[in-house]
Amino acid sequence: MAGDKPSVELCKGINGLDKVVLRETRGSSAEVYLFGGQVTSWKNEHGEELLFVSSKAIFKPPKAVRGGIPICFPQFSSHGNLEQHGFARNKFWSIDTNPPQLPSNNLVKTFVDLILKPTDDDIKIWPHSYEFRLRVALTPGGDLMLTSRIRNTNSDGKPFSFTFAYHTYLLVSDISEVRVEGLETLDYLDNLKERERFTEQGDAITFESEVDKIYLSTPNKIAIIDHEKKRTFVLRKDGLPDAVVWNPWDRKAKAMPDFGDDDYKHMLSVEAAAIEKPIILKPGSSRMMSIADVPMYRH
C-alpha cells in the first residue's frame, strides 16, 4: 500500500512456487518467481499491471511461464541440443546470499539478488560451469531494473559463448494502437524468413500482422508508445546490442496452448538481447547486462 515502507518479502505464489515481492513506498511493486528467475508482475503506483502474463500461463515446472520477463540463456531461440531459449527460464534459482558489488545507485533500496549455477546433470547438456547472478530492483519512482552478471567458472581453461535476451512481455491496451520508436532504419534479421537480413524503412514501427524480428546494433533507448493508455515504456539497455520485437498474432496465438486466442492484442515483446554476435567469456571473466523499464504518462 502507498505510504508503507519499502519491503522485500519471500512468499508462496501460484501452485506453491516461491516468489519474492518487492514493494516501494509510493505503491509500485514487482514479483519474481525463483522458478525461472522470472519477473511475473510489475505494477505502477496506482496498482496497474504493466507486464503481460497470459491468463492461460501454466505455473508448473518445467514449462516456462508465458509472460513477464523470462530470461533466455545460454541461447536465444533453438539450435543444437539446447532447448528453445536455453534452460535458465526453466530452472529453480536461489536467493544469492553473497551478491557482488554492483555500480552503486544509492536510491535503489528495494531489490532481490538471485543466482543460478549448473548441476552435474546440467553440465551434461551444456558442458560449462558458470555463475549467473540476477538483481531485480524497483526504484522509488517505480522503474524496474534487471541486472545480470554472468561469470565463466570453468576450471578446464575453456571459454564459452552464449546468446541472451530479457524476453520482456509488455502489457498494451491494443496492439494496433502501439508504436515503437528507436528502431527505424536499422537492419534486422527476420525470424519469419529464416533470419534473412533486411533494413527497416524510416516509418514508425506499428503492428498489423505477425512480427518476429531481431534488430541489430540498436540504440540503448527504445520507446514503446501505447496511445490508448497515454503511456510510454522507455526501455534502456546496457551491454545488449540487439532488440527482438515479437507478436505472434492470431494464427500462432491459437497454436500456443498457454496463450489465449486474443492475448496477442494485449501484448508486445520487446527484448533487449545479444544474438547476432554471441558473447564469449574466458574463464574468470564476466559480463554485465542490464535493462531499466521506465513508464511515462501523458495527461
The residue ranges that bind ligand BG6 (CB under 6 A) are 84-85, 167, 191, 212, 244, 246, 269, 271
Choice between 58 and 108, CB closer to ligand BG6: 58
Element (H, E) at 42: strand 38-43
Residue 84 labeled ligand binder: yes
Question: Measured from the CB of residue 47, what is the shortest distance to ligand BG6 in angstroms?
Answer: 27
The Cα–Cα gap between 218 and 234 comes to 14
Helix/strand/coil for 251: helix
CA 10 to chain centre: 21
Q: Is 271 a catalytic residue?
A: yes
Beta-carbon contacts of residue 109 (< 8 Å; ≥ 6 apart): 6, 140
Instruction: Out of 31, 83, 167, 177, pick the active-site residue.
Output: 167
Choice between 101 and 209, CB closer to ligand BG6: 209
Choice between 131 and 276, CB closer to ligand BG6: 276
Choice between 194 and 203, CB closer to ligand BG6: 194
Choice between 23 and 91, CB closer to ligand BG6: 91
Q: For residue 134, how many other CB atoms are within 10 A of its CB? A: 25
DSSP string, 259-286: S-TTGGGGEEEEEEEEEEEEEEE-TT-E
Question: Measured from the CB of residue 213, what is the shortest distance to ligand BG6 in angstroms?
Answer: 8
Question: Measured from the CB of residue 24, what is the shortest distance to ligand BG6 in angstroms?
Answer: 29
Question: Measured from the CB of residue 271, what is the shortest distance to ligand BG6 in angstroms?
Answer: 6
Residue 231 labeled ligand binder: no
Among the listed residues 161, 135, 153, the one whose alpha carbon sits nearest the alpha carbon of residue 71 = 135
Cα dihedral 76, 81, 82, 84 in deg (nearest 10): 60
Question: Measured from the CB of residue 146, what is the shortest distance to ligand BG6 in angstroms?
Answer: 16
For residue 143, give Cα distances in angstroms to 23, 26, 138.
12, 12, 6
Q: For residue 12, how many other CB atoms are within 10 A of its CB? A: 9
Question: Measured from the CB of residue 268, what is the shortest distance to ligand BG6 in angstroms?
Answer: 11
Choice between 64 and 137, CB closer to ligand BG6: 64
Cell of 180: 515503437
Instruction: Out of 128, 271, 276, 299, pick the active-site residue.
Output: 271
Residue 89 labeled ligand binder: yes
125-130 contacts, C-beta under 8 A, 24 or more apart: 125/81, 125/82, 125/87, 126/74, 126/82, 126/87, 128/74, 128/152, 128/154, 128/158, 128/160, 129/153, 129/154, 129/155, 130/74, 130/154, 130/160
- 240 close to 275: Cβ distance less than 8 angstroms: no
Q: Is 46 a catalytic residue?
A: no
- Residues comprising the binding site? 66, 84, 89
Catalytic residues: 167, 271
Per the annotation, where are the binding residues for substrate?
66, 84, 89
